[in-house]
Structure 1
Amino acid sequence: MSDLYDRHRSVLPDWLALYYEDPLEITHGEGRHVWDADGNKYLDFFGGILTTMTAHALPEVTKAVSEQAGRINHSSTLYLNRPMVDLAERVAHISGIPDARVFFTTSGTEANDTALLLATTHRRSNTILAMRNSYHGRSFSAVGITGNRGWSPTSLSPLQTLYVHGGVRGRGPFADLGDAEFVDACVEDLKDLLGHTRAPAALIAEAIQGVGGFTSPPDGLYAAFREVLNAHGILWIADEVQTGWGRTGEHFWGWQAHAQNGPPDIVTFAKGIGNGMSIGGVIARSEIMNCLDANSISTFGGTQVTMAAGLANLGYLLEHDLQGNARRVGGLLIERLRGVAAQDPGVREVRGRGLMIGVELTRPGTDLADPDRASAVLEAARADGLLIGKGGGHSTSVLRVAPPLSLTVAEAEEGAAILESALRTTQ
């Protein structure tokens, strides 16, 4: 392993982050488990950053990919593509957006980049509203709207970005307010902000901030924002890269917790739909999607083999009600972890929905983030056979728990027990 690590460091960028003091090479997986190059078995509670959505080596997806690869892998969007049309029809139908059009990309970053292109072109404005603590990808435009300093390496941007309060319920100037008062205060902040700028093109927001540590506002915040946005003609872009496809359990899309005024104008997605294959995309009303007045293609977006994977994966998820499983098993897991947290003065909060759970660590008796302990917990959990993630806006002090949506109750209990042990040994 050290030889591979040395080779990695000699040829790949220094800023390409790796977990663990002794980085891990994952060689294969099955179900909710993966194995490393030394033969060690792990229960996977992070799924390749919320990407292995259903299960590792899911037979239905593996079969679909193999059969499609035996016919043709790729032809580009310059030719008719039956698997792409099939998946676009299914995604458009379940999007909730009327007269929806779908454009496929290869990643969530590219999806958000495309959404920004559409919104700024449609509105003839390069001003974007984004949420503090947000993360939207690693392209030049996506970095420019990311509200998390740890993932935004440059202030240079083709866009003017204005950041809005509301994405983080438990910190900031409105944290001590009740939910209704919190929403009112954030809406007033938005109104005040709009009084000092030219009309923005869009607000882009994650219903639950992923990299930011699985933080979220009270239900209905973005519906309240929408009333203000509509009065100014400003579009709402819902970044569903991490929250989509039923992961939150209660809803198929994260935005549905804020749906009082209808669906967003634009939805972006990626990660889980491909179950590890490289799929991203944008859903938008036809007049927004069709606003570009120049030709465009996507060489690899919508390629046949990834579309076959997406169709098989989405079909499996719907047929086996994995959204319902995320609600049931995720609810049990959250309550189990909250019981653990009650005995640990260094756990500030256990939060989340479905199988999207954050455990925020702080120094006992303070609100100061504890990234050193978060790293120590990751190491201890790995040593006992559990893989988790980490994130957070103030520093990487939030443990991120996001297993495949087919997680069983027994596996949830096993993972919770390992995480409990890791927390106890690092106090």
Structure 2
Amino acid sequence: MSLHERTRAVLPSWLALYYEEPIELDRGDGRHVWDADGNRYLDFFGGILTTMTAHALPEVTKAVADQAGKIIHSSTLYLNRPMVELAEQIATVSGVGGADDPAKVFLTPSGTEANDAALLLASSLRRSNQILALRNSYHGRSFSTIAITGNRSWSPTSLSPFQTYYVHGGQQYRSPFAGLSDGEYIAACVADLREVLDQVGGDVAAFIAEPIQGVGGFTSGPDGLLGAFAEVLREKGILWISDEVQTGWGRTGEHFWGWQASGAVPDIVTFAKGIGNGLSMGGVIAPTSVMDSLGANHISTFGGSPLTSAGALANLRYLLDHKLQANAAAQGPALFDGLRALGSPAVGDVRGKGLMIGVELVRPGTGDPGDPAPEIATAVLEGCRRRGLLVGKGGLHGNVLRIAPPLTLTSDEAAEGLAALLAAIEEATP
């Protein structure tokens, strides 16, 4: 049996695989990976925005090997130097809290568990199970995070521990407010938020939002929208959770965190993916007054393990020392400009920031916004693979290309990947 056949025989049928003939990634180096047949690919997806700096980054592999030679696991019941050092570094760059209410960090094994922990903090502190979320959002695959995910493709059940209310603002291209200026769009979304709150009985615990929606197809509202929301939320004492699982660590180029484009500071920040560079790492950042509010014992068996913390700390230090946020800002424009200059009738929208780029594909001749074309997106995915390029796919309709290479991307690699991507789009366009 092939590895594909063995996978389907022993793993769930709902476990998605890319490509008609799925590939086994065997090794990686820098921005490239090789499959088990020896084929080389330029990686523009990074294991879903997770290989943030580079494949097999020597600083990370050495930190992991050194730590593995000492102790791999202990749990949070024991003092853990790598975990504390990582938490200190994250708190320092978080932008959360202040001198009178400093930031604290709780580490988890994933972004899903980070959002779980944030929801626990907010609902416990506010004594409420009511949550506001954005339409088209995705926050994880657990029972509680599925309950606040505003995307039917990722919501297999209507059962929920929360009462969730969805508001506008997650995307502009297919919004009922499309065509409005940024200022008018923000005003319309704020009015929608106020209307929803007028209809909610009791206190709402929190509003959770991705500054740029990941699984939703790299969509967002205008800069300043979440800040305008924050003014309304604070009138009513509602906590704001910024889900930075995909937008954090400088990927947008212009800021270290996605929320920094809003003009306001969230009450809670969640993170994961890129910080571990492939290691299982996530977490929550909040001021002491919020983080210490739980009234019961709480631990994590695997969160902040010595091994993952050592690797994540080396990764974060590398990112800061080598100014990779600035590199994202420098390399992104060439990709945006090239995609927008293509002028393909199949490209309905090119959006995002830095090295987080979404390309919405539509059926030519179906107006603006055009009808979603998931079949074209699938054809482009396959065409990129044949040309030695790996990209992602997402969006509510499965018609958005997701482009997010490691932040060490060079200008030559950006040009190489762009050429393959443009050729694949032209080939797939009817």
Partner of 1:274: 276
Helix, strand or coil at the partner of 2:363: coil
The runs of at least 4 aligned residues of structure 1 exceeding 6 Å deviation read none
Partner of 1:113: 116
Distance (Å, rounded) in 1 between the aligned partners of 2:337 and 2:283: 34
The correspondence for 1:422, drawn from 421, 424, 428, is 424
Distance (Å, rounded) in 2 between the aligned partners of 1:364 and 1:426: 12
Distance (Å, rounded) in 2 between the aligned partners of 1:84 and 1:165: 38
- Map 1:149-228 onto structure 2 (within 5 A): 149-197=152-200, 198-228=202-232
Alignment-mate amino acid for residue 82 of structure 2: P
Distance (Å, rounded) in 2 between the aligned partners of 1:373 and 1:315: 40
**Number of residue pairs matched by the alignment:** 421
Alignment-mate amino acid for residue 384 of structure 1: R
Deviation for aligned residue 1:173: 1.3
Give me the TM-score of the superposition, normalised by structure 1.
0.98
Partner of 2:335: 333
Partner of 1:56: 55
Alignment identity in percent?
Answer: 66
Helix, strand or coil at the partner of 2:175: coil
The correspondence for 2:299, drawn from 292, 297, 300, is 297
Q: Note if contact 2:173-2:349 (Cα within 8 Å) is conserved in structure 1.
A: no
Unaligned 5+ segments in structure 2 are none
Q: CA RMSD in A?
A: 0.7
TM-superposition CA deviations, 1:344-374 (whole Å, max 9, x none): 1010011110000001000012221000110
Unaligned 5+ segments in structure 1 are none
Alignment-mate amino acid for residue 221 of structure 1: L
Alignment-mate amino acid for residue 351 of structure 1: R
Deviation for aligned residue 1:171: 1.4
Alignment-mate amino acid for residue 214 of structure 2: G
Distance (Å, rounded) in 2 between the aligned partners of 1:64 and 1:373: 42
The correspondence for 2:386, drawn from 383, 394, 410, is 383
Deviation for aligned residue 1:221: 0.3
The correspondence for 1:252, drawn from 243, 252, 256, is 256
Distance (Å, rounded) in 1 between the aligned partners of 2:78 and 2:134: 38
Deviation for aligned residue 1:199: 2.1
Helix, strand or coil at the partner of 2:251: coil
Helix, strand or coil at the partner of 1:145: coil
Distance (Å, rounded) in 1 between the aligned partners of 2:67 and 2:53: 20
Please say if 1:104 is aligned against 2:103. Answer: no
Alignment-mate amino acid for residue 333 of structure 2: G
Deviation for aligned residue 1:296: 1.1
Give me the TM-score of the superposition, normalised by structure 2.
0.97
Distance (Å, rounded) in 1 between the aligned partners of 2:33 and 2:221: 34
Distance (Å, rounded) in 2 between the aligned partners of 1:90 and 1:63: 19
- Map 1:56-135 onto structure 2 (within 5 A): 56-98=55-97, 99-135=102-138
Deviation for aligned residue 1:305: 0.7
Please say if 1:136 is aligned against 2:136. Answer: no
Alignment-mate amino acid for residue 360 of structure 2: E
Distance (Å, rounded) in 2 between the aligned partners of 1:335 and 1:156: 44
Helix, strand or coil at the partner of 1:35: strand
Distance (Å, rounded) in 2 between the aligned partners of 1:219 and 1:383: 37
Helix, strand or coil at the partner of 2:147: helix
Distance (Å, rounded) in 2 between the aligned partners of 1:335 and 1:312: 33
Helix, strand or coil at the partner of 2:423: helix
